[in-house]
Structure 1
Amino acid sequence: MNIDSWHIVMRMESPKDSPCDPIAPPDLPHSLHAFRRMPKTDPQDMEYSYTYRGGFWNYFSMGMDAQVSYAFHSQRKLHPEKFKNQLSNQKTYLKLACTQGWFCASLFHPMSR
């Protein structure tokens, strides 16, 4: 299956007169993580730079599916410690889809009890 995905490598430079501390992992976006410095033999290596890399997937959604995706994203931002496992993430997404979707939403609605 073809999917619109891409990966980036980003190099951040700091001024020569300030320390070059890498961004701490909690301050990085979910899509980026710290990567090893460039090898000294690399012509693009600079003394005051750190490298980060990340993967991105282009996902476009409308309507109810967008609502579920946004709810999942919001929960992940609020409680990142609960979203460390892919299978657990899929279960959470399924639960949100069922409670907000057409199929099982009526089972969870207060009027259906």
Structure 2
Amino acid sequence: MAPGPAQSRQNTSADISATIRVAELPQQGEQMYALIHQGGPFASEKDGVIFGNRERLLPPFKRGYYREYTVPTPGLWHRGTRRIVCGGMPKTPDACYYTADHYASFRKIVP
């Protein structure tokens, strides 16, 4: 019997091998990445809220480890689908990940 979607996600949870360089992020992503490391200020009240990792695509850690930040999409009046999710301390995260598809996939941000 083939594994179901939950099993497939679980099997890939610790395998974040896809990367994206900071310079490859959209301009708004580069700006948000810099703001994260400065501690803000953030435009959205949702920026910095706990990210639950319910999709289990990121390495598993206790609740509260990950925080999410909106990467604005020009022309949209809502938050859109682009986010940066960082784990660890807010201004000095251990790792940050970019998603352009609202948590369906992640790429680790590297220098």
Shorter chain as denominator, the TM-score bin is under 0.3
> Relative contact order (alpha carbons < 8 A, sep ≥ 6): 1 or 2 greater?
2
Question: TM-score normalised to the size of structure 2?
Answer: 0.23
- More strand by percentage: 2
- More helix by percentage: 1
